[in-house]
Amino acid sequence: MSDLRHTLSLMQAGRWNEAHDRIQRDDSMLAAWLHGLLHLQEGDLEDAENWYDRAARHFRSRGSLEEELALFEAALGREPAP
């Protein structure tokens, strides 16, 4: 979980490449969602939709990037600590 939080902070700091490199090492559903958010932020909608599918999330009915990030952060808060 702390890895996802760190990756999220990298994304929010504009360190997209570093965040993308880190997220590829995690195969969890939350990581797939964050991976989709990274591609969404980049403007790569095709890859974003692919990662949303892997995360079992509805890409076409998503909110704005800001809304999705808020939902993601809330989901992180609900996950049990390792």
pLDDT digits over 2-13, tens only?
A: 699 999 999 999
**Looking at the domain covering 2-78, what would its CATH class be?**
mainly alpha
What is the structure's pLDDT at 81? 47
Q: Looking at this protein, which amino acid is placed at residue 73?
A: E
Q: Where are the domains of the chain?
A: 2-78
pTM assigned to the model: 0.89
